[in-house]
A = this chain, B = another copy of it.
Amino acid sequence: MKPIVLSSIRKQNLRKVLDLLTLAPAMTRQELAEASGLSQMTVTNLVELLKKQGVLHQTVVPRDENSRHPQGRRARAISLSGDQKTWLIVDISSRQFSMTLIGFDVEILMEIHDNQQGEYLQRLESFLREGGIRMLNALSDRKLLGVAIITPGPYEISSDTVNNQRLPQLNQVRIKELFRRCLGHYEYYVDEDVKFAVRSFSDPVVLNQCEVLYYLYIGEGVGGAAVHRGNMLRGLNATAGDAGRLIDRQGNIYENRLNTEAFLHLLDIPVSLPPEELQETLRRVATQQPLQYASALELMASVTAEMLHSVLWILDPTHIVIDCVYAQPDGKSFVQMVKKHLAKLFQGEPRILPHLFPCPPGVSSVLRGAVRVLQSAWLDRILM
């Protein structure tokens, strides 16, 4: 048992170093040791290991008058490098596919969105073939370490299929087989969108204060995922956390009342907008008809709180991240509204309400989570 334990500690330590370097532009070994709580010796060993893998840059730090060791060896600033190694993330979780090539340093190198018309599966195949060619060009000399495939529902390894309600055509497809045929033979990691997303929040900082983190996604579909003490809650059917499927008092599932289509319906906006236009339209409505927009959001916040009521009794999460596509023009306000409605629902109960926060802006949680999964699989390989 000992070797397993030691390599898992080593993996945790490497993960810490990678997390720190992902957050900071560059750090010296000493800074890494201080921030991670690891010894300088451990940090040096880990940095050497990563250097050998060709994923680090080192630059000499200009000598500083205030430095503690002005006469000593020059410190080197270490940063992640995207020059040699990359990740690819293919998102087929919504009707519009996308493909993102990301350097090891989590900088986006290339993004392709599907803008074609036509039958769903044909569209997917031609998107993967054309995207594959463009990706190979963008890669140039870099090596692809792994590919994450983001699906709209849980993935079943043994049958190589997904199971979802929104895009039933996809349930017939053998996922990895399709990808190998159209894109080539790579290391593929398939998982549901929310399962990737929740992992972007499982960093040590959050976990230290957090028994259960719940991630709620509201968009074309409504779903969620939970991390319990650093382990994802997956469940028997890999549907754990899927609040969108809960039944409301009218006997409907919450997904149908809360998804983007339902929201656009409240604002009399045609529902078949591509993602780019959707965001633009929402921003316009939020600016030009602020009252209508706010009152539609308020209604959705009250339904969200009602749905979260069951989540609060069954998971009792410490933190809830709300990633609502149509609230993006004003994500913070939406979270405030949900909070207010939750407080009303739990009025009179001696209960602490979870810390609610909107999804951080920038690179999406799904992409960040997918990079973490790919990193983790890569760490397993290099530590073998």
Report which A residues bind B (CB closer than 8 A).
Answer: 1, 5, 9, 163, 211-212, 228-229, 231, 233-243, 245-247, 249-251, 309-311, 313-318, 350-352, 354
Contacts and interface: CB of A to CB of B under 8 A. Distances in A.
The 7 A-B residue pairs whose C-beta atoms are closest, nearest first, are A235-B316, A240-B316, A314-B314, A310-B310, A245-B313, A236-B318, A239-B316
Contact of A246 (B9, B243, B310): B310
Contacts of A163: 350
A86 to B, nearest CB: 33
B229 A212 contact: no
A211 B234 contact: yes
Contact of A249 (B228, B233, B239, B249): B249
B314 A242 contact: yes
Contact of A313 (B5, B234, B242): B242
Contacts of A241: 314
A236 B313 contact: no
A269 to B, nearest CB: 29
A16 B120 CA distance: 53
Contacts of A239: 313, 316, 351
Contacts of A317: 235-236
A73 to B, nearest CB: 29
A12 to B, nearest CB: 9
A246 to B, nearest CB: 6
Contacts of A313: 239, 242-243, 245-246
B234 A231 contact: no
A163 B349 CA distance: 10
Contact of A235 (B235, B243, B315): B315
Contact of A231 (B228, B246, B315): B228
Contacts of A243: 313-314
Interface centre among A311, A316, A352, A354 (most CB of B within 10 A): A316
B350 A233 contact: no
B314 A237 contact: no
B237 A351 contact: yes
Contact of A316 (B228, B229, B234): B234
A87 to B, nearest CB: 27
A108 B315 CA distance: 35
A247 B316 CA distance: 15
Given A211-B235, A236-B354, 18 more contacts: A1-B9, A211-B233, A211-B234, A228-B228, A228-B231, A228-B233, A231-B231, A233-B315, A234-B316, A236-B317, A240-B316, A243-B313, A243-B314, A246-B309, A246-B310, A246-B313, A310-B314, A314-B315
B352 A236 contact: yes
Nearest to A1: B9
Interface centre among A234, A250, A354 (most CB of B within 10 A): A234
Contacts of A240: 212, 314-316
A178 B376 CA distance: 50
